[in-house]
A and B are shown apart, each in its own frame.
Chain A
């Protein structure tokens, strides 16, 4: 359904060319949930934004293909893209407070998406066109109320006219999900949708997203830095580091038998609730500066505990180690 091939996004900055996304291959089947995991600056959000072609200036997609149902999104015109955004592919952003417009009622913001994509078609214009507009508005209002109910906003008729600041964080995120769902998208891009929320609210939102996935068959790409959330929620996981995918595969394989030293390190550094408390593992060093990445060799080389001399030189491809499981590490070459 979605296939990304060798995607590259660069930012031309004063400090040099920052390779935010450096050759990513991903594919997603209908009805599946894919988790993109990585630390801040690993390029996971940029990958997501490039699918909608929303990479902010001075970023640019310089190479690659993004095939959505067989068509390359990178070759579409601006107006074609506008039709796809929100309708076929919808997005949920990280911070609900800044996503909603504070000066419009929440319901109106959900209705806007219905209107823009002509979900409820106007009847033929005539002398009494203005009456039909009223009719259309009413139908849209009803649809919005239905959507709000579906995402679990209580008293939708009343809440339709509330402003975003009158909603709690979880409710705002629900409203945003309602906007995303308004056109019944085939693909939902979720950029850390629960990071700004509390655990109990996070559980509610994840439950809602899972329902949407099961009932509507919507595919989801779920970006998160929380491995535990990804482990519970996704079918497949891709771990990103310095603009590259270092490991991807079915969730059980990646979490239970991690192959790449970075994935192993990440998993070990999460505090766990087990009877025995030990000191937390720390991956040595820091995330490399993307502007000064060496042109060859493994970007994780300096922090890797299992590194060998060749890691510094070799350009390592994504290697298939078992069915559907890929690792970018020299040990598996």
Chain B
């Protein structure tokens, strides 16, 4: 297996970069079928869901990923855990390239990297009991002894705050928040080191949301986990993340420490996004920047800066023609904008 050449021979495994994403691309190609090809002049469409993204996640941190629907944040999360095949680029997990991993190697990776899905109603098989749902990952990770498995399931349910007596219940017998707990237990079954949480709380009520967020934070402390936390709710992301990356149309437009992003946003899109958050505190309400229009289609994104069609501080020609690079403007604070 290909090993990453280390920069200056250093890659601190304990505290250093845990996951490295390099120029990752995920394109979905939609080809018209033969009949459509003959009858109409339909061409194939390429949806650039994730377009050239590079980022690092350090051991033990939570990286928040925010953006509007359709910006590719879920695709990025799923590509990182290899649920989607990346079109281009590299995913390096603990110094090992797993972009092309197959068979045993991939299985090993999946033991370490798990995902919690957004919708607790559709991510659990309604025909299987909780015991069956939780057994699958345990069997896959090699727990063959049924008694040991049962003990593990009991421990897992207990850990996520469910009663082990409900082991033989079906998903429909649980409320939304409880189902999400089952989803979390399933992800924990493999004893992973890295978890992609794909909008784990957006389908839940406020009071339940707080329970699940607290649970995720406790688990992180206890099991020394690393999260990629995807959400569109900015206040939730603020609460859980150490660093935040803001995505727009398949690209990262700004990335940095949570405090920097929220209190000193640089990219106009981040500013608009933050100003749109409703707040219960009157004094906190910022002047609202209302963005015109909607996110352009990722099939043919705008030339130059992708945000240029909605930008309110556009510099002119340059923004429409040249694509800005992600640059480090302050320490650890990256922005992709021609203004900086």
Contacts and interface: CB of A to CB of B under 8 A. Distances in A.
Contacts of A231: 278-280
A13 interface: no
A273 B69 contact: no
B291 A200 contact: yes
B155 interface: no
Q: Is the interface of B mostly helix, strand, loop or mixed?
A: helix
Given A199-B234, A202-B276, A225-B205, A271 B213 contact: yes
A171 interface: yes
Given A39-B205, A169-B69, A200-B272, A273 B234 contact: yes
**Of residues B177, B259, B278, B290, which shows the largest number of chain A Cβ atoms within 10 Å of its Cβ?**
B278
A225 B273 CA distance: 21
B300 interface: no
Contacts of B238: 271, 273
Nearest to B71: A198
Contact of B175 (A169, A272, A286): A286
B1 interface: no
A83 to B, nearest CB: 36
B211 interface: yes
Contact of A269 (B69, B210, B277, B278): B210
A171 B292 CA distance: 12
B181 to A, nearest CB: 12
B280 A227 contact: yes
Contacts of A134: none
Nearest to A168: B294
A204 B290 contact: yes
Contact of A227 (B175, B206, B275): B206
Interface stretch (A93-101, A277-285, A305-313): A277-285
A198 B235 contact: no
Interface string B192-206: 000000000000011
B247 to A, nearest CB: 12
B68 A232 contact: no
B288 A203 contact: yes
A270 B206 contact: yes
A270 B277 CA distance: 13
B187 to A, nearest CB: 21
Interface string A272-314: 1101010111110010000000000000000000000000000
A279 B177 CA distance: 18
A203 B206 contact: no
Interface in B248-277: 259, 262-263, 272-273, 275-277
B148 to A, nearest CB: 32
Nearest to A228: B278
Contact of A280 (B176, B239, B272): B239
A2 interface: no
A118 interface: no
B122 interface: no
Contact of A282 (B214, B281, B294): B214
Nearest to A279: B214
Contacts of A169: 69
A105 B152 CA distance: 55
A316 interface: no
Given A203-B290, A232-B285, A280-B214, A273 B262 contact: yes
A279 B213 CA distance: 9
A199 B280 contact: no
Contact of A232 (B209, B232, B272, B278): B278
A266 interface: yes
B277 A199 contact: yes
B241 to A, nearest CB: 10
A52 to B, nearest CB: 25
A201 B233 CA distance: 13
Nearest to B214: A280
A279 B217 contact: yes
B207 interface: yes
B281 A265 contact: no
B193 to A, nearest CB: 24
B210 A282 contact: yes
Interface in B143-163: none
A39 B207 contact: yes
Nearest to B269: A200
Given A168-B294, A171-B294, A198-B69, A228 B279 contact: yes
Contact of B207 (A170, A202, A265): A265
Nearest to B279: A228
A272 B213 contact: no
Contacts of A272: 235, 239, 279-281
Nearest to B262: A273
B284 interface: yes
Interface in A241-271: 252, 255-256, 265-267, 269-271
B326 interface: no
A247 B263 CA distance: 34
9 contacts: A40-B205, A154-B293, A199-B276, A200-B272, A203-B275, A203-B276, A256-B282, A271-B238, A281-B210
The 7 closest A-B pairs by CB, nearest first: A271-B239, A228-B278, A269-B210, A198-B68, A203-B276, A280-B210, A39-B205
